[in-house]
Amino acid sequence: MPFGVLAALLIAYTSRLIPVTANFRLGVAAATGGIMLVYLASFVLGFFGIAMPFLHGSGPIGIGISLFIVVIAALNLVLDFDFIEQGAQNHLPKYMEWYAAFGLLVTLVWLYLEIIRLLSKLRSRR
C-alpha cells in the first residue's frame, strides 16, 4: 500500500501536479511538527495513566485524525522528492544521497505504520 502511494505521488510530483513552494514546505513541516507534539504528549501522558481517546479511538474523530496523519505522511514524500531533486540540481556531495535515502525510508515506514493504524481502526468498527 505505501508503495502505491509512493508511485502515485512520484508521478504527481514529476508531472508538476503538486508544486513545492515555500508555503507548501512550511505547511507540511508545521503539520508534521504538530503531529509529533501530539504523539509526544500522548506518550508522556501514558506514563501517568492518561489516555487520549480521540487519538487512539476508533470513532469518527479518531478515524478522521488518522486520515489526516496519513495525508501529512504522504505529503512528506513530496518533500523528500523535492530534497532529492534539489540535491541533484545543486550537485550536493555524494554522502548527501544517504541522507536523502534515509529520509525517504523513514517517511515510507511512517506512512506504512499510519496506514496500518488507520486500517486497524476501520476494522475495529465492525
pLDDT for 54: 87
Question: Could you list the residue range(s) of the whole structural domain that residue 8 is in?
Answer: 2-124
pLDDT for 71: 97
Contact between 100 and 69 under an 8 Å Cβ cutoff? The reply is no
76-99 residue pLDDT tens: 999 999 999 999 999 999 999 999
Query: What does pTM read for this prediction?
Result: 0.92
Give the whole-angstrom CA distance, residue 54 versus residue 15.
37
pLDDT for 56: 87
- What total of structural domains would you count in the chain? 1
Give the whole-angstrom CA distance, residue 122 versus residue 126.
7
Find the DSSP H helices in the chain.
Answer: 2-14, 22-47, 53-56, 60-89, 96-124
**Amino acid making up residue 74:** A
pLDDT for 125: 76
pLDDT for 84: 96
